[in-house]
Structure 1
Amino acid sequence: MDKLRVGIAGCGFFAQFHIDAWRRLEGVELVAAADPDLARAGAAAPKAYATMGAMLDAEKLDIVDIATRPETHLALVKEALGRGVPAICQKPMAPTWAESREMAAVAERSGVPFMVHENWRWHPWYREAHRLIQSGAIGRPITYCFRARKRDGLGETPYTDQPYFRQMPRLLIYETLIHPIDTARLLFGDVSHVYADTRRLNERIVGEDLAYLLLSHESGLLGSIDGNRYTEGGYYEPKPGSPPLGEATFEGEEALLTLTTDGHLLRNGVSIWRNTVHTGYRGDCVLATQRHFVDHLRNGTPLETGASEYLKSVAIVEAAYESARRGARVALAEMFHA
């Protein structure tokens, strides 16, 4: 079977994880890259272009991977799908709810395969947690808590890997907590209501860097997400490169499932699964995400984060900001009827 030809748009900080994964993924070939910095694009792939449009003009691609900043996503997705090229686009979908909804509508109308690159649900520990919960390992789920931490938001020059974070008006929920939000949907189904409260700890940034979210699922289950990019939390030893960026607990009628900071799973304190994946980004979740898209193109495997489906996770983000603004619980239905 011929290899699928891949082009990537954007060769910045996080795109390097995409590039590494494409190079290692079986059945594909990274043939081209587009970036305003041509040297950076040339280091990523054999053919280098300044823009995605130029790349698509010159190359016959089976996949375009959009790994640019969120404010460019809608236009690039429109261009790729308009040319009939299957596309995968990094989260966040877009800076605004209106643009995110427009992207989903464009993808639906085009009929061209499209997926949002949401990689947390592809962490091996969450895939195993999902299997265990579905198999009844904790009994009927009652509640859960994600504690998301990354200590990179302190001092006069926070977020050195992605300094543009400092000027983002919406930061922690929009950029980081979307990950456990989407994972909560994978594990426990869709959400009906959200309550959120936020703080800005570092006055040198524009957006929030601490947030607490309470999610009410359609099943009646209630869960929480506790996140900040300011502390290591105090409840565990800081571990550079700690795979899950925090920890999580999933409580059921019969047992407690705990995700440790090493990416291991415990049932009532006893080890039942150990993470052995140390290649790539955090459990090699970027490669797993990209493989999922390739599987869809090759075999018709249903996409887990197609635009319309992932929009449900984005709606929770929007509802969280609206809740924090109002100081009240917000129904997800409001987002879709706004």
Structure 2
Amino acid sequence: MTKTGLIIGAGHYADIQLEAWQKVQGARIAAVLSLTMENAKKLADKYGLRAYDDWETAIQEIEPDFIDICTPPDSHFYYTRLTADLGLPVLCQKPLAPTLQEAEELVAYCEQRGVPLMINENWRWQAWYREIKSMMDAGLLGKVYSAYMAMRPGDGWGDNPYPVQPYFKEMEKFLIFETGVHYIDTYRYLLGEIDSLYCQVRTLNPVIKGEDMAVIHFNFSDGAVGLYDANRVTYMEEVRCPTYGYMTLEGTEGKLRLTEDGTIYYTPRGGEERRHAYTIPSEGWKGGCTIATQQHFVHILREGGSFETEGRNYLTTVKAVYACYESASSNKVVQLG
């Protein structure tokens, strides 16, 4: 039986998620709920859905099987609490909450009520990272000892940066909290748990409040080291390219590099670099990651099992985010493991 969902939020990313829901098998979104009917209706009309500005009415009329929360972080706990009180599964956008304490309370609230909670952390579902993980699992790199991720969206310079999401300018914690969290989670997906980290941050564009540059050094439990080298102000010929930047991985049996368009190049030890053939989905945002993430959510709801980014597990990523700010403030290495 097809699962019916209600999405809360009518902003930029709710639109991206609703586009993905059109391709997900086994579930459908029936309605959009927003604080204002105007915003809800504008997005709902685009996808032929119902629009609401009242929680009780939406729940009574839609009778959803799950709730997709796609609102700003400061409202996540509020809507998660309402959903958990109804015993409904939750798909909640990142960042999980404005503070670590609230994130922990949000996860505990769902656990206490036995409500499934998955964080909509879609970065690890980008086709290139799934393929890289498969290459690693197949032993093509051997034991990976070094990783480098450069994030360069190129959308953060000038008097009016981030035109798609202008509220970014007002965030006190920005680059790591809003975007870097994706990379921390992806590093965990590829290389395992983080033992310690050292972070430095800068604010390069004076018109914003938070940091727009960060360099983070990670030590992983299996001995690998990783570097996250990120800023949103460097000029890029293509703004917000598919991968947001580029990446390299080095191991005992080979190395690879990921380019800005999602191409992977692989070099075996003793051999020559060659393009690695794989398929990037033609549909969906950033290598089909929104479709893949939401399909995973629905699959687990229908078939059982554990979400890759279930609440308790994802708290490890959230704790690493706050450890980055602690490190930057103290100018010291912070232990996590």
Query: Quick check: TM above 0.5?
Result: yes
Instruction: State whether residues 22 and 287 of structure 1, in contact with CA within 8 Å, keep that contact through their aligned partners in structure 2.
Output: yes
Q: Is 1:270 matched up with 2:247?
A: no
Counterpart in 2 of 1:304?
308
1:34 is aligned with what amino acid? Answer: L
Q: Distance in 2 between matches of 1:262 and 1:99?
A: 37
Q: Distance in 2 between matches of 1:291 and 1:136?
A: 28
1:35 partner amino acid? S
CA distance in structure 2 between the aligned counterparts of 1:153 and 1:276, rounded to whole angstroms? 27
Contact 1:123–1:284 under 8 Å retained in 2: yes
The one-letter code of the counterpart of 2:246 is E
Distance 1:301 1:124 in 2: 22
Go from structure 1 to structure 2 and tell me whether the alpha carbon gap of 1:240 and 1:207 turns closer, same or farther (over 3 Å shift).
closer
Q: Give the superposed CA RMSD.
A: 1.4
SS at match of 1:283: helix
Partner of 1:336: none
Query: Could you list the runs of 4 or more consecutive aligned residues of structure 1 that deviate by over 4 angstroms after TM superposition?
Result: none
Structure 1 residues 274, 264: closer, same or farther in 2, change over 3 A?
A: farther
CA distance in 1 between counterparts of 2:147 and 2:182 reads 15
Superposed CA offset, 1:173-225 (max 9, x none): 00011111100100111111110000000111100000000111111211110
Give the distance between the partners of 1:107 and 1:145, measured in 2 at CA. 35
1:286 aligns with 2:285: no
Deviates more, 1:52-61 or 1:18-27: 52-61
Shift of residue 274, structure 1, vs aligned partner: 4.0
Q: Letter of the 2:244 partner, please give it.
A: L
- Aligned partners of 2:277, 2:97: CA distance in 1, in Å? 36
**Matched residue of 1:290: which SS?**
helix
Aligned mate of 2:321, from 317, 320, 331: 317
Using the TM superposition, give the Cα deviation of residue 273 of structure 1 relative to its aligned residue in structure 2, in angstroms.
2.6
Identity %: 36
TM-superposed deviation, 1:241:
5.0
Residue aligning to 1:20: 19
Task: Map 1:68-217; keep pairs closer than 5 Å.
Answer: 68-217=71-220
Residue 334 of structure 2 corresponds to 330
**AA of the residue aligned to 2:193:** D
In the superposition, relative to structure 1, how do residues 66 and 52 fare at CA in structure 2: closer, same or farther (>3 Å)? Answer: farther
Residues 5 and 31 in structure 1, CA contact (< 8 A), matched pair in contact too: yes
Per-residue CA distance 1:79-135 (angstroms, 9 max, x = gap)? 101111111000000011111111111121121111000001101110110011111
Q: What is the CA distance between 1:24 and its match in structure 2?
A: 2.0
TM superposition shift of 1:275: 4.5
Cα distance in 2 for partners of 1:95, 1:321 equals: 13
- Residue 29 of structure 1 aligns with which residue? 28
Question: Matched residues in 2 for 1:206 and 1:262: separation?
Answer: 31
Query: Aligned partners of 2:290, 2:12: CA distance in 1, in Å?
Result: 14
- Farther-moved stretch of structure 1 (42-51 vs 26-35): 42-51
Is structure 2 residue 50 aligned with structure 1 residue 47? yes
With 140-149 and 27-36 compared, the bigger mean Cα shift is at 27-36
1:222 aligns with 2:221: no
- Residue 4 of structure 1 corresponds to which residue in structure 2? 3
* Other-structure match for 1:259: 258
Q: Kindly provide the CA deviation profile for residues 275-333 of structure 1, in whole angstroms up to 9, marking residues without a partner as x.
A: 43232211110111100000001111321000100011111101000000000000125
- Alpha-carbon shift at residue 46 of structure 1 (Å): 2.6
| 1:288 counterpart letter in structure 2 | A
2:270 alignment counterpart: none
**TM-score normalised by L of structure 2:** 0.94
Contact kept? 2:155, 2:233, Cα under 8 Å: yes
SS at match of 1:6: strand
Q: Give, in whole Å, the separation in 1 of the partners of 2:207 and 2:167.
A: 12
Aligned length: 328
Contact 1:141–1:253 under 8 Å retained in 2: yes
* 5+ long unaligned stretches in structure 1: 334-338
Residue type at the aligned position of 1:332: L
State how far apart, in whole Å, the 1-side matches of 2:266 and 2:206 are.
41
Counterpart residue identity of residue 50, structure 1: D
Per-residue deviation at 1:53?
4.3
Match of 2:241 in 1: 242
